[in-house]
């Protein structure tokens, strides 16, 4: 049970910001939002995670709504190498609970 | 750090044969996970270990599948006997006790003919 809903696919022009939405309306108060991506033929790669506040790292920014029912992953300047499947996952942080990967969003960055 | 190391990268075997997949987690990571990925079912968790002890094997499809972690630096996933429907990419991942996420290996692509 992935507990998240994402669009199946999206396109983004190279150099523009890619905004990937995720709905997690049943998230509980102590569950974090994680984002991973999987480039073709590779293992999934951790991108970012957050609880309430917006987060930013060298790869992306994560914007979580105030009610925490949805979030957006932002790739500020998409490149062709960002073409991948992006997974949004909710999970308790300080446990060994496994990540359940849903179907994700297939992002295609167009030259 | 070399990351999570899986071997072999590719395996082709005949139906009925035993297959062993290997994983070396990142040193210091207390959690190890085995996932399987197919087009039909996506990424599925098969089993995970904490400090070398199996915690949840509810994702293991049937008794033909078994996994072991004899020490902190090595784990195996064995399929015996293998069947064509076991064809998939098998990923191993590891995580610190209170880490930010998993680090996945490059996977083993298994083809059973």
Higher-pLDDT residue of A102, B23 = B23
Q: How many of the other CB atoms lie within 10 Å of CB of A100?
A: 17
Q: What rounded mean pLDDT belongs to chain B?
A: 93
Q: Please report the pLDDT score of residue B82 as a whole number.
A: 97
Residue B56 and residue A28: Cα distance in Å, rounded? 22
* Mutation to test the B interface, candidates A59, A98, A101, most B Cβ within 10 Å: A98
Q: What is the CA radius of gyration of chain A?
A: 13
- Is pLDDT of B1 > 90? no
**Which pLDDT score, from 0 to 100, does residue A98 have?**
67
CA dist B73 and B64 (Å) reads: 24
Give whichever of B1-5, B16-20, B50-54 has the largest mean pLDDT: B16-20
Average pLDDT of span B33-37: 95
Q: What percent of chain B has pLDDT over 90?
A: 77
Please, which residues have CB within 8 angstroms of residue B72's CB and are 6 or more apart in sequence?
A: B25, B27, B51, B52
If one compares A4 and B98, the residue with the highest pLDDT of the two is A4
Cβ count near B21 (within 10 Å)? 21
Residue B97 has pLDDT above 90, yes or no: no
Mean pLDDT is highest, among A97-101, B42-46, B85-89, for: B85-89
Contacts of B63 (CB under 8 A, 6+ apart): none
Q: How many CB atoms lie within 10 A of CB B80?
A: 13
Q: What is the pLDDT of residue B69?
A: 97
Contacts of A44 in chain B (CB under 8 A): 43, 91, 93, 102, 104
* E runs forming strands in chain A: 9-13, 18-23, 31-38, 45-50, 55-56, 61-64, 70-75, 84-92, 105-110
pLDDT at A16: 97
Q: What local confidence, expressed as pLDDT, does residue A31 receive?
A: 86
**CB spacing of A44 vs B105 below 8 angstroms:** no
């Amino acid at each position: 049970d992935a507990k998240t809903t994402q669009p199946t696919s999206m396109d983004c022009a190279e150099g523009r910001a890619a905004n990937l939405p995720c709905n997690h309306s049943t998230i509980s108060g102590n569950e974090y939002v994680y984002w991973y991506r999987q480039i073709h033929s590779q293992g999934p790669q951790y991108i970012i995670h957050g609880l309430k506040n917006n987060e930013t790292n060298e790869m992306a920014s994560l914007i979580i709504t105030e009610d925490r029912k949805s979030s957006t992953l932002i790739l500020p300047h998409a490149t062709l190498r960002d073409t991948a499947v992006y997974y949004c996952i909710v999970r308790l942080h300080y446990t060994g609970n496994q990540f359940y990967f849903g179907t994700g969003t297939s992002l295609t960055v167009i030259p | 750090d070399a990351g999570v190391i899986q071997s072999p990268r590719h395996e082709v075997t005949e139906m009925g044969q035993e297959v062993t997949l290997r994983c070396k987690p990142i040193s210091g990571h207390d959690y190890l996970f085995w996932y399987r990925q197919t087009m039909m079912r996506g990424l599925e968790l098969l089993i995970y270990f904490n400090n070398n002890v199996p915690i949840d094997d509810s994702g293991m499809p049937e008794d033909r599948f078994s996994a072991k972690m004899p020490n902190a630096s090595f784990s195996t996933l064995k399929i015996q006997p293998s069947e064509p429907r076991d064809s998939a990419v098998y990923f191993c991942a590891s995580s610190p006790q209170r880490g930010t996420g998993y680090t996945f290996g490059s996977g083993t692509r298994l083809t059973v003919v």
